[in-house]
Amino acid sequence: MPKFTLDGREISFDPGETVMEAAWREGIEIPHYCWHPGLSVAANCRMCLVHVESGRQMEMPQLAFDEKKGEYVPTTKPKLQPACQLAAAEDIVVSSTNDEVKTAQASVQEFLLLNHPVDCPICDQAGECKLQDYYYEHQATLKRKLTEPVHKPKGVRFGPTIIYDAERCIMCTRCIRVCDEVAKDHVLDMRERGNKNEIVLAPGRELDHRYTLMTEHVCPVGALTSQDFRFKARVWFLKSGQGVCTGCATGCNTHVDYDPRYGKVYRLRPRDNADVNKYWMCDDGMMTYTRHDTDRLLMPTTGRGDERMPVGEDEALDLAAEKLKAVDASKLAVVLSAQHTTEDNLALAKLAAALGADQLYLAALGGWEGDDILRSDDNNPNRAGATQAAGGVTLKSVDDLLADAQSGAVQGVVALGWASAEQLEELAPLTALDGVVSLTSHVGAFPAVASVAIPVADIFEIDGSFVNDKSMPQAFRPVLAPPTGVDPAWKTISALAGKLGKDLGFQDLQSLRQGLSDAVEAAQ
């Protein structure tokens, strides 16, 4: 591989790469605003100026004052070049830290702040704002301009999700490029020039495609804010965990930003993964975090309709075991969930095998449209994983379950998950059966018809993995603690098996996962 030198360090590059890209790959960040690894090069912010010291240096003529002669004389000074657009070439020596460059960085930074509003106190970006970071690193001087800054529109509604503030905007055009290149929808553009520049919507349009939140995500400053996250939290209080989006079968990698003080998730952000989602996520996926604390089932319940009442955890398990024992194994339906982890599904499949129940079903959500950008046609994150967990048994649908229940082939149900049907009433026929046990994190169709509902941990509270539509298993880690008395589903299933007098052959996640590779093998 050819090499060049950046600040005394050898960097190898693929022909065609820019200096910025090669450095980025090596983990070196040359200060930049407009360049984004996932977008085309605009080279309009000039923050990334570097000095090519040998190889392909350029000189710029200038007049300098000569003390001796007492007049201006023509000389030259090095011409700096934007690293984001400078093609890396064999053996060039580049500096991003010498005095020339430092002056340039400080000047660009000062220039960008020239008309910037004093908004950090009310700006959601504060804490993760590039202007703040680079000010601290590269400028650190106080204001020299004493006149009133130029004022521009603030608080402009771009669409249902995004608010724009032209005063904070540094005109890097990342948002325009994200709409053009990722969402393939040219809905944003720039108008005017100089300090009147602003980002505008295409006439008659709103920012309403499926990737609007990506504009906010790429905005290096606080010019675009998300209607959802707006004013909710301060980012410097947030910690970040690694998650996988539950929106669809693509399984975009996420950063789960939560506040450890309140145990609350505030937002998701895309986590770069070149093989899955690159740098992006869709709006619906970004909003899946809101499911977490809405409509949670926190207490085990028993009884239906008006007779529903809370019971203790142990009592609920006893009751469930009793109801399931009353049903003949051949007439017991076991419903896996495409919303739950492979591990949870595997535990349930093992329970089915131990009981000798061979009627397996799969509960999945519908009502979703895919596209050829990121979104899969299937909005269940783990259909593939659940299918693998079943180990080759064909999984019937929930519609089949209803039919079987009506025909009498099914007389008892144990179901994982809440997500199974669009309408709560759809499963109403199951109320005819006495033994319907639902293990669920949320209130939903199954818990609504269950005679015993037992809460289990939600996706942010467990260790687990999903298998996406490209058959890639992806693991994630818990960020929050489950509510008191609530366990991950696999643990609850194991406890239930214990009550039924069965040993499922695993004690912890590790031994359960060993079973997973077996199951995966059997499926193939």
Partner 1 sequence: MAVEVKVIKKPGRTIAEQVYIPEIAKGLGFAMGRFFKNTFGPQAKKEIATVKYPEEKVEYPERFRGIHRLTQRTDGSPRCVACLCCSTACPAQCIYIEPAEYDPDDPRYGYERYPSVFMIDELRCIFCGYCVEACPCDAIRMDTGMHMPPSTQREHFLYDKETLLSIPGRDGSYLTANPRHEPGDPTHPGVDRERGH
Partner 2 sequence: MLNNVGWSLAVEKLLQIEVPERCQYYRVILGELSRIADHFTCNGASAMELGAFTPFLWLLKVRDWVWDILERETGARMTHSFGRIGGMAAPPTASFKDDVRQLIPEVHKVVKETEIMLLRNRIFLDRMQGVGVLTKEQALSYGVTGPVARSTGIPYDVRKDHPYMVYDRFDFDVPIGEDGDNWDRFMVRLEEIRQSVRIIEQAIEQMPDDGPINVDDPRIVYPDKDEVYTTIEATIAHFKLVMEGLRTPKGEVYSFTEGGNGELGFHIVSDGSGTPYRVRVRPPCWYNLAASREMLLGGMIADIIPTFGSVNMIGGECDR
The site for ligand FES (CB under 6 A) is made up of 32-35, 43-48, 82, 84
Q: What's the per-residue H, E or C state across 114-130? A: CCCCCCHHHCCCCCCCH
Q: How far apart are CA 253 and CA 240, in angstroms?
A: 13
Number of residues that bind partner 1 (CB under 8 A): 21
Positions touching ligand SF4 (CB under 6 A) are 116, 119-121, 123, 125-126, 129, 131-132, 168-175, 199, 218-219, 221-224
Element (H, E) at 3: strand 3-6
From the CB of 221, what's the least distance to partner 1, in Å?
Answer: 17
- Contact flag: residue 232 with partner 1 (CB under 8 A): yes
Contact 448, 321 (CB under 8 A): no
The residue from 154, 264, 269, 304 that contacts partner 1 (CB under 8 A) is: 154
* C-alpha dist (Å) from residue 368 to 247, 277, 305, 310, 493: 10, 18, 30, 34, 30
- Contact flag: residue 126 with partner 1 (CB under 8 A): yes
- Contact flag: residue 107 with partner 2 (CB under 8 A): no
Candidates 110-118, 354-362, 445-453, 513-521: pick the segment binding partner 2 (CB under 8 A): 110-118
Which of partner 2, ligand SF4, ligand FES, none does 48 bind, CB closer than 5 to 8 A by kind?
A: ligand FES
Contact 47, 109 (CB under 8 A): yes
Which C-beta is closer to ligand FES: that of 46 or that of 138?
A: 46
Which C-beta is closer to ligand FES: that of 33 or that of 490?
A: 33
- Contact flag: residue 204 with partner 1 (CB under 8 A): no
SS3 state of residue 389: helix
Q: How far apart are CA 211 and CA 216, in angstroms?
A: 10
- In the sheet with 264-270, reading across from the earlier edge strand, the strands are 239-244, 253-259, 264-270
- Contact flag: residue 309 with partner 2 (CB under 8 A): no
- Contact flag: residue 229 with partner 1 (CB under 8 A): no
Which residues in the 115-154 window bind partner 2 by CB under 8 A?
116-121, 126-127, 131-132, 135-136, 139-143
Residue type, 513: R
From the CB of 449, what's the least distance to ligand FES, in Å?
Answer: 57
Report which of 484, 476, 358, 360 is spatially closest to residue 416, judged by C-alpha positions. Answer: 360
SS3 state of residue 18: strand
The residue from 6, 86, 163, 390 that contacts partner 1 (CB under 8 A) is: 163
> What residue ranges bind partner 2 (CB under 8 A)?
110, 113, 116-121, 126-127, 131-132, 135-136, 139-143, 236
